[in-house]
Amino acid sequence: MSRMPSQDGTARNGLHHVTAFSGAAARNRDFYTRILGLRLVKRTVNFDDPGTHHLYYGDAAGNPGTILTFFPVAHAAPGRVGIGETQETAFRVPRASIGWWTHRFVETGVTHDAPTPVFGEPVLRFRDPDGMMLALVGVAAAETQSDPAWTDGTVPAEHAIRGFHGVTLLLREAGPTAAILTDVFGFHEAGREDLATRYAGGAEAGGFVTLRAVGEFPRGRQGAGSVHHIAFRAADDAAQAAMVERLTGPHGLAVTEQRDRQYFRSVYFREPGGVLFEIATDGPGFAVDETAENLGRALKLPAFLEPHRARIEDRLPELA
């Protein structure tokens, strides 16, 4: 089930998903489901490299704005964040839950900092087992949002993660990237703090992108814990095509052909600041090849890989 575009004309622009590299698949799955309490909503393979898992975590349905995905590679070298990359990926939790989460991280041995205010909200920064930079942002509105929080009992529903808050991109300068956010994705400037400028798209989950302009700074090295790309939402193919037209026309950027990712349809482009961006359609969503109750339980393959299932299952590392 995917969220319908709003009927009242209110902007619902925001992130669709974030995709990163990780180390061993089982350790990644344990951290995101058992420590953070996200739902594994899809277990598939990298369509471009079927020897590697592609794991999707999100809310109960894997709604756009809640989906963090990984390509796990055992013994992958760690990445190092640099310019032209996503520096931090932040989730939203109820504001009153920040204390509960701090306690949980202490108890479970998760590397974290003391909560600090950022743009007026308490932020609890932490790292996953691969060193990926993450944060929980305490949002007052998260307590009263319409979608019920996913819980399997690991994290009580009242404290559960409610999708993304947003991402922070590390850039040399903010202007060229900001132009894409405002002109193509319908975001608007929502605040400045030190080197950071925040842009808001209006979506409840994943509605914020913060640009951190640091001037000359080393480039990163992609590896375990690095974000590979971030995807923005398009309500449907027509909305995606309109965005592509803005990108290739006024902004003069090169964009890939549309690719069928089974659960959404995607185009990719390198934004002027160096970050790989994707535009993904809200539909058809994750219940297209298994029931909503059984999401994430079985290895799912697209039709073109199904004939090779036995060999693929043989090569994939154990996840159970």
Residues making contact with Zn ion (CB under 5 A): 19, 231, 278
- Residues 6 or more apart in contact with residue 119 via CB below 8 angstroms: 190, 191, 193, 198
User: Rounded to the nearest whole angstrom, what is the least distance from the CB of residue 293 to Zn ion in the complex?
Assistant: 25
Nearer to Zn ion, 33 or 266 (CB): 266
User: Rounded to the nearest whole angstrom, what is the least distance from the CB of residue 256 to Zn ion in the complex?
Assistant: 12
d(CA 267, CA 229): 12
Nearer to Zn ion, 98 or 231 (CB): 231
User: Rounded to the nearest whole angstrom, what is the least distance from the CB of residue 214 to Zn ion in the complex?
Assistant: 26
Kind of pairing between the strands at 208-213 and 164-171: parallel
Name beta bridge partners: 17: 67, 231
Nearer to Zn ion, 128 or 278 (CB): 278
Nearer to Zn ion, 97 or 240 (CB): 240
d(CA 209, CA 2): 22
Burial 107-144 (b: 16+ CB within 10 A, else e): eeebebeebeebeebbbbbbbbbbbbbbbbbbbeebee
User: Rounded to the nearest whole angstrom, what is the least distance from the CB of residue 40 to Zn ion in the complex?
Assistant: 17
Nearer to Zn ion, 204 or 278 (CB): 278
- Residue 187's identity, in one-letter code, is F
Whether 212 contacts 226, CB under 8 Å: no
d(CA 2, CA 123): 29
Nearer to Zn ion, 8 or 257 (CB): 257
User: Rounded to the nearest whole angstrom, what is the least distance from the CB of residue 222 to Zn ion in the complex?
Assistant: 15
Whether 10 contacts 58, CB under 8 Å: no
Nearer to Zn ion, 17 or 159 (CB): 17
- Residues 6 or more apart in contact with residue 99 via CB below 8 angstroms: none
User: Rounded to the nearest whole angstrom, what is the least distance from the CB of residue 17 to Zn ion in the complex?
Assistant: 6
Ramachandran bin of 317, using left for φ above 0, alpha for ψ from -120 to 50, beta for the remaining angles: beta
